Amino acid sequence: MKFQKSPGTQDILPGSVEKWQFIEDKARDICRRFNFREIRTPIFESTDLFRRGVGETTDIVEKEMYTFIDRGDRSLTLRPEGTAGVVRSYVENKLFGDPEVSKLFYVGPMFRYERAQAGRYRQFHQFGIEAIGSVEPALDAEVIALGYTFFTEIGLKGVGVEINSVGTPAVRAAFREKLLAFLEPKREILCKDCQSRIDRNPLRVLDCKVDQQHFTDAPSILDSLDEECSIHFEKVKQSLTDMEIPFTINHRLVRGLDYYTHTAFEYKAEGIGAIDTIGGGGRYNGLVSDIGGPEQPGVGLGLGLERAVLLLEHQQTELPNLNEIDVYIVALGEAADREATKLVHQLRRQGIRAERDYQGRKMKAQLKSADRLGARFTAILGDDEIARGEIALKDMSKGEQRMVAFTAIAQEIKG
Ligand code: HAM
């Protein structure tokens, strides 16, 4: 019997995993600079948390959750996204007692039962951040800027930021009426998805990829904003301009999760088939209290790491070579083999990335390995070298060779 990975999951193999390490390191480094601290929450949570947090009528909750009953008869769900779990943890651990805004980040797998295609998986990874405890529009802008900085610093080109305001629930309710008046007469000519969305979540109709030609005269939610929402949105735009983060306004932008209020945004880029959204987020002023916490506003984002990796590949971005070996010790003979074991271990303990042969191969084959692994230095170890306690260390980029005492190899390599 042969086993294969489940549809929509991926093995990330050596050769590819270095790209992941590179972007995850970047994410951590950027968070450190923006003063976001890591939080690790469970991979599964109670199903009700996502129902309540993400929203009963969202695609995620209606169709995409990996839900199961455990042996204790609890309904649990593999997290489809990170925000609900972080907010649950924020409430449960009373992080609201901290006078500072809680600025948190996470990197990890999420699970959605979606139709798998390039850039869309059932297990995928997000880099996410959540800033809870302030209504300040500059914080919305900071979150947007952080995501933009991430994409820029990993080397992606052509990333656009689209922003919108989805207002407060009251604003949305009023807009919904206006929108329904516009959509109802068109119901018959719209696609099946749109028809069912008109009844369940009319704002999302405007998001439809196939029916855009019918929406040119659709009302804009931005014309329905009340004063508070307008001022907030203006200030977010102002802060983005001040930070020189380029953005466009898309009044049809509606996110697939129900918790958003005020600012909603997405990062877009061409190059992954039909998919052009590589990240998104927004403000969620009602979520903390919705799941039983105090009235605390929040804002955050989630960036898709598979999509970032695919785009790096598509754009053929040069990444630093994280996989370079410092030194390959070529051992010839039994005594040299023993010495190589010792030497390689000592070098590794001194911070050197050292490798050797494990297959008793001839010199030529060992040198080939050194080359394949991109070793910066190679050294040939035989009986003479052992007797002298010295080895000829060859700098492969310069082609220069030098006799070095065993005890000085690490120093020589570090330069
Ligand atoms: P989301 O828009 O559902 O937002 O997901 C964020 C990003 O995760 C997407 O833009 C995409 O890059 C990636 N993503 C989503 N589903 C898949 C999939 N099936 N395969 C590959 N990548 C995927 C959220 O999850 C919110 N929690 C973001 C947020 C945080 N809002 C506030 N705080």
Q: Where are the domains of the chain?
A: 17-167+225-314, 327-414
CA 84 to ligand 1: nearest atom: 27
pLDDT of residue 114: 96
Q: Using CA positions, which residue lies closest to atom 17 of ligand 1?
A: 120
- pLDDT tens figures, 326-360: 999 999 999 999 999 999 999 999 999 999 999 99
Q: Please give the biggest Cα pair distance in the chain.
A: 93
Q: Does residue 83 have its Cβ closer than 6 Å to ligand 1?
A: yes
Q: What percent of the chain has pLDDT over 90?
A: 91
Assign domain 17-167+225-314 to a CATH class.
alpha beta
- Does ligand 1 have an atom closer than 6 angstroms to the CB of 143? no
| d(C-alpha 222, C-alpha 32), whole Å | 35
User: How much distance in Å is there from the Cα of 115 to the middle of ligand 1?
Assistant: 15
265 lines ligand 1 (CB under 6 A): no
Q: What is the pLDDT of residue 377?
A: 97
> Which atom of ligand 1 is closest in space to residue 81's alpha carbon?
25
Measured from the CB, is residue 306 less than 6 Å from ligand 1?
yes
Report CA(396)–ligand 1 centroid distance (Å): 45
Does pLDDT of 178 surpass 90? yes
Find the range with the poorest average confidence among 14-28, 29-43, 160-174, 195-209. 195-209
Residue-level pLDDT at 273: 87
pLDDT at 344: 98
Q: How confident is the model at residue 317 (pLDDT cuts 50, 70, 90)?
A: very high
How far apart CA 382 and CA 377 sit, in angstroms, is 17
256 within ligand 1 shell (Cβ under 6 A): yes
300 lines ligand 1 (CB under 6 A): yes
Residue type, 305: L
301 lines ligand 1 (CB under 6 A): yes
Tell me the CA–centroid distance for residue 281 and ligand 1, in Å.
Answer: 8
Lowest model confidence (mean pLDDT) among 157-171, 197-211, 378-392: 197-211
pLDDT for the residue 197? 87
Confidence of residue 407 (pLDDT cuts 50, 70, 90): very high
| Whether this model's pTM surpasses 0.75 | yes
Q: Is 288 in the pocket of ligand 1 (CB under 6 A)?
A: no
> CA dist 136 to 30, 249, 269, 406, Å?
21, 20, 28, 60
Residues in Cβ contact with 17 at an 8 Å cutoff, skipping those fewer than 6 apart: none
Both tokens assigned to 27: 């994410």
pLDDT of 322 higher than 80? no
Report yes or no: 300 and 327 within 8 Å, Cβ to Cβ. Answer: no
> By alpha-carbon position, which residue is closest to atom 11 of ligand 1?
304
Whole-angstrom Cα distance, residue 219 to residue 335?
A: 82
Closest protein CA for atom 31 of ligand 1:
281
Q: Among 288, 307, 309, 312, which residue has the most ligand 1 atoms within 8 Å of its CB, making it the best to mutate?
A: 307
Q: Is the CB of 151 under 6 A from ligand 1?
A: no
Residue 273 tokens, joined: 């088939």
CATH of 327-414, one of 3.60.20.10, 3.20.20.150, 3.40.50.800, 3.40.50.300: 3.40.50.800
Tens digits of residue pLDDT in 207-257: 887 888 999 899 999 999 999 999 999 999 999 999 999 999 999 999 989
Q: Is 398 exposed, middle or buried (0-12, 13-18, 19+ CB in 10 A)?
A: exposed
In this predicted structure, what is the pLDDT of residue 229? 98
Q: How much is the pLDDT for 327?
A: 98
Please choose from 45, 104, 124 the residue to mutate so as to test ligand 1's pocket, defined by most ligand atoms within 8 A of CB. 124
Burial (Cβ within 10 Å: 0-12, 13-18, ≥19) of residue 170 = exposed
**Which tokens belong to 332?**
């010839």
Phi and psi, residue 78, nearest 5°: -65, 130
171 alpha carbon to ligand 1 midpoint, in Å?
25
Q: Of residues 114 and 197, which shows the higher confidence score?
A: 114
> With 80 as the cut, is the pLDDT of residue 321 above it?
no
* Pocket lining: 307 vs ligand 1, CB cutoff 6 Å: yes
Instruction: Read off the amino acid at residue 172.
Output: R
> What is the residue-wise DSSP string for 275-297?
EEEEEEEEE-SSHHHHTTS-S--
Query: At which residue do the structure tokens 């119901």 appear?
Result: 187
Average pLDDT, the chain: 95
Q: Is 120 in the pocket of ligand 1 (CB under 6 A)?
A: yes
Q: What is the pLDDT of residue 270?
A: 95
Q: Which residue has the tokens 């959540």?
A: 130
Tell me if residue 104 falls in helix, strand or coil. strand
Per-residue confidence (pLDDT) for residue 320, from 0 to 100: 82
Pocket test for ligand 1, best of 9, 63, 126, 163 (most atoms within 8 A of CB): 126
